């Protein structure tokens, strides 16, 4: 099963199990995100990424310099532990991407705005062997042009399904799910942004971006 097939299964299940009033709001929110996204704001290939240091799930400080010490860095921006699409994607990357990255000296790190406890839960529950970093306040995601604010009309519905971002993140700003590949000189070599958060970068596409460097 491909990652896309797995994500399609989650989408179908939402319609089958969620009350219509919840599913309708979430689907409309999904459409609004796609319609309002401005690709011109996203970090561009060929530009230089700003350095950063963020805490891993265990509190260890991890910098962009650490991630690019031996090769390119694969930065995976995701929404949080409450997002089933994110959890499935991270597990797929652990199984299909991480074992191949060592051939290229590359390292993968996942980044979200959730508080450290959430990052720890994601790492443990999905059995991830790569850094899971907390970008509280979206400082790094904003520098890559990936952030947006969840509309007030959607927040009560998200809270009902366990996605109260005041609780998980300390605020309602999120980053579009994205993969950014940065080379050893911190030059951005690949960017794939998904305003439709129910879709993600396929492992094969991600690996091809690393192999092409």
3-211 topology per CATH: Glutaredoxin (3.40.30)
pLDDT tens by residue, 7-38 = 999 999 888 888 988 999 999 999 999 999 99
Asked whether the beta carbons of 141 and 42 are under 8 A apart, the reply is no
Distance CA(110)–CA(210), nearest Å, equals 16
Residue 179: Cβ-neighbour burial (10 angstroms; 0-12, 13-18, 19+): buried
β-partners of residue 54 are 62
Q: Taking the complete model, does pTM exceed 0.85, yes or no?
A: yes
In the chain, where the domains are located: 3-211
What would the pLDDT profile of 49-64 be if each residue is shown by its tens digit? 999 999 999 999 999 9
For 98-150, the pLDDT digits (tens) are 999 999 999 999 999 999 999 999 999 999 999 999 999 999 999 999 999 99
Confidence of residue 212 (pLDDT cuts 50, 70, 90): very high
What band does 41 get if pLDDT is binned at 50, 70 and 90?
very high
Q: How many CA atoms lie within 13 A of 11 on its CB side?
A: 13
- Condensed to tens digits (0 to 9), the pLDDT of residues 146-194 reads 999 999 999 999 999 999 999 999 999 999 999 999 999 999 999 999 9
Q: Taking 90 as the threshold, does the pLDDT of residue 205 lie above it?
A: yes
């Amino acid at each position: 099963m491909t990652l896309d097939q797995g994500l399609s299964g989650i989408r179908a299940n939402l319609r089958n199990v969620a009350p219509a009033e919840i599913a309708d709001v979430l689907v409309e929110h999904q459409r609004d995100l796609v319609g309002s996204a401005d690709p011109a704001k996203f970090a561009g290939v060929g530009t230089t990424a700003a350095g950063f240091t963020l805490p891993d799930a265990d509190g260890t400080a991890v910098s962009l310099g650490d991630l690019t010490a031996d090769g390119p860095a694969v930065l995976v921006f995701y929404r949080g532990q409450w997002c089933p699409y994110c959890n499935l994607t991270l597990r797929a990357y652990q199984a299909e991407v991480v074992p191949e990255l060592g051939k290229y000296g590359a390292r993968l790190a996942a980044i979200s705005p959730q508080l450290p406890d959430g990052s720890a839960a994601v790492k443990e529950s999905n059995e991830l062997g790569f850094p899971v970093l907390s970008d509280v306040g979206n400082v790094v995601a904003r520098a890559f042009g990936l952030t947006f604010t969840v509309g007030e009309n959607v927040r009560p519905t998200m809270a009902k399904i366990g996605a109260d971002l005041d609780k998980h993140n300390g605020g309602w700003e999120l980053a579009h799910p994205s993969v950014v590949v940065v080379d050893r000189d911190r030059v951005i070599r690949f960017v794939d942004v998904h305003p439709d958060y129910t879709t993600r970068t396929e492992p094969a596409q991600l690996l091809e971006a690393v192999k092409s460097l």
